[in-house]
């Protein structure tokens, strides 16, 4: 991270940078192994890959938690205190210390166990999906949960065992913070969903235009065109591949890999997955190169990363202005859309319905999908729900919040990859991202009131540049609350998001 002409000439600082770079580079090797596992690896390689990932994970942990790193962090306290809080060097020391203190609480054997379980449970999850049977996955999930519980105990907590797990994804936030946010959203969204679905009952399906036959290769071509349009570099710094579950992995700012999946009967699935993952990819490509081999070379949190994906998928990609620009391009790939108007497409991509699949959920119902997962995870950690009963509890919770019941486990409890590696506390970041995306966008819109007019012309660089300067440029220097306060003037708040939802969907549905 530090160049030879850095104002910080302390040899201990330079030594710390060198040691931490080794740990980060090993972590990135693990990311590359994960990408290969998801996209390229033959099924027969699963057992060996588990050994590879466990070894790399253990080596990265050993590098970060070495006694020398601990001593250097102690020796550099005075230097840190003498520097501005937001300087690269002070932030590097501060964030490294935070990660070091967490990592040193976790025994190496638990790190190895967690990595092995992630690989093994992923393979079992794939088999369970094929069988559409949660019972196939349950033994692996029980092992994964036990390891996550041991991780929480190792990290330590005062109030709730999920607190240290939440903190790993959202530094500085707790279960209490998440519960408060969900309570506010639940109170507003549940009656709004009911009002909209009641209003829409018996009306023609606006999303019918997205259904039909949309060839696989054409969907990938239109997805690539869309992500290039918003600024994701597919030519020299990124790539788009297929996977069971869409995701993004950043090996470096110059090697960012996104994935999608294709349903030939529904063009919206792949298209919006491409925009979503490209949002993550833009964040990764926008992080300064000088942070590449340091803990600063990441987003502020999982939720802030999600704010960027939701920004491009929803605020931009589901706007009228975007479709004024992009609909003619989509028609070139799919002549069957020839008679579709911008208004038709706008209403199609903003259809509100109580659906089963999280990644295809609309903006109004999406957070209810997250709440289902969070409440079930918390019930397990609280001892109120046994994993043996998780599938049925999932179905009951869906019926309570969304009024529908999954017909099988594939469309229910088995739909997310996350529980193969991070049972407990990964999902709140999705809701945090939804909320933060509006908070950030409103600030950008205040600075550039003509953003939507620019979208209609296919001009997205003003918004991207604003995000690069105000969000991406800081990497992981700040906690999510610090970053939001710095950029928008206040910490995370649901108010802008709820106002946006009421305004947009009130106009669409007349509620």
In the block, which residue shows the tokens 């390891």? 147
Q: Which residue has the tokens 């440029």?
A: 473
Give, in order, the Cα–Cα distances in Å from 217 to each of 279, 340, 408, 484: 22, 21, 29, 39
Cβ partners under 8 Å of residue 129, min gap 6: 244, 410, 414
391 contact partners, CB below 8 Å, separation of at least 6:
134, 409, 412, 413
Q: Is 153 strand, coil or helix?
A: helix
Residue 427: closest CA among 188, 138, 182, 248: 182
Q: Based on C-alpha coordinates, what's the Rg of the chain?
A: 23
Provide the 3-class DSSP secondary structure of residue 219.
helix
Q: What is the 3-state secondary structure (H, E, C) of 437-480?
A: HHHHHHHHHHHCCCHHHHHHCCCCHHHHHHHHHHCHHHCCCCCH
CA–CA distances in Å: residue 405 to residues 195, 211, 360, 393, 414:
20, 23, 16, 11, 14
Dihedral angle over CA of 391, 396, 400, 403, nearest 10 = 90
Q: Examine the residue annotation and report whether 277 is marked as an active-site residue of this protein.
A: yes
Whole-angstrom distance, CA of residue 322 vs CA of residue 359 = 20
Catalytic hit among 99, 170, 277, 306: 277
**Which residues are paired to 260 by β-bridges?**
242
Residue 345 corresponds to which tokens in the numbers above? 């497409």
Rounded-to-10 torsion of CA 126, 132, 135, 140: 10
Which residues are known to be catalytic?
277
């Amino acid at each position: 991270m530090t160049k030879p002409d850095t104002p910080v000439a302390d040899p201990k600082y330079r030594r710390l940078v060198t040691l931490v770079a080794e740990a980060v580079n090993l972590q990135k090797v693990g990311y590359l192994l994960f990408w290969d596992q998801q996209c390229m690896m033959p099924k027969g390689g699963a057992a060996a890959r588990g050994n590879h990932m466990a070894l790399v994970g253990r080596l990265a942990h050993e590098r970060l938690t070495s006694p020398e790193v601990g001593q250097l962090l102690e020796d550099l306290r005075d230097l840190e205190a003498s520097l501005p809080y937001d300087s690269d060097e002070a932030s590097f020391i501060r964030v490294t210390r935070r990660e070091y203190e967490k990592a040193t609480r976790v025994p190496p054997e638990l790190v190895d166990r967690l990595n092995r379980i992630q690989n093994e449970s992923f393979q079992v999850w794939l088999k369970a999906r094929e069988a559409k049977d949660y019972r196939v996955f349950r033994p692996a999930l029980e092992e994964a949960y036990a390891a996550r519980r041991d991780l929480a105990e190792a990290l330590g907590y005062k109030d709730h065992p999920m607190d240290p797990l939440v903190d790993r994804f959202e530094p500085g936030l707790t279960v209490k913070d998440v519960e408060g946010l969900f309570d506010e959203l639940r109170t507003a969204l549940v009656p709004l969903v009911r009002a909209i679905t009641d209003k829409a009952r018996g009306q023609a399906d606006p999303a019918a235009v997205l259904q039909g036959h949309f060839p696989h290769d054409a969907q990938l071509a239109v997805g690539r065109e869309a992500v290039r349009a918003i600024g994701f570099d597919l030519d020299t710094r990124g790539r788009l591949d297929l996977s069971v579950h869409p995701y993004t992995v950043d090996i470096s700012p110059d090697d960012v890999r996104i994935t999608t999946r294709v349903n030939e009967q529904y063009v919206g699935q792949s298209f919006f997955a491409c925009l979503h993952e490209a949002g993550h990819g833009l964040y990764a490509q926008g992080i300064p190169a000088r942070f590449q081999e340091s803990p600063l070379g990441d987003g502020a949190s999982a939720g802030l990363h999600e704010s960027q994906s939701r920004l491009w998928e929803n605020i931009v990609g589901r706007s009228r202005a975007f479709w004024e620009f992009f609909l003619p391009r989509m028609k070139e790939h799919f002549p069957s859309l020839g008679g579709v108007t911008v208004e038709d497409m706008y209403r199609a991509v903003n259809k509100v319905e109580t659906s089963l699949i999280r990644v295809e959920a609309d903006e109004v119902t999406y957070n209810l999908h997250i709440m289902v997962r969070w409440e079930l995870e918390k019930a397990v950690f609280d001892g109120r729900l046994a994993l043996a009963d998780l599938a049925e509890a999932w179905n009951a919770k869906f019926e309570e919040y969304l009024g529908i019941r999954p017909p099988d486990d594939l469309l229910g409890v088995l739909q997310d990859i996350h529980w193969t590696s991070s049972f407990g506390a990964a999902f709140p970041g999705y809701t945090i991202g939804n909320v933060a995306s509006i908070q950030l966008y409103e600030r950008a819109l205040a600075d550039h009131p003509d953003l939507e007019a620019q979208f209609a012309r296919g001009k997205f660089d003003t918004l991207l540049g604003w995000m690069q300067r105000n969000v991406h440029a800081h990497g992981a220097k700040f906690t999510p609350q610090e970053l939001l306060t710095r950029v928008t003037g206040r910490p995370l708040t649901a108010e802008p998001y709820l106002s946006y939802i009421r305004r947009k969907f009130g106009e669409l549905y007349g509620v």
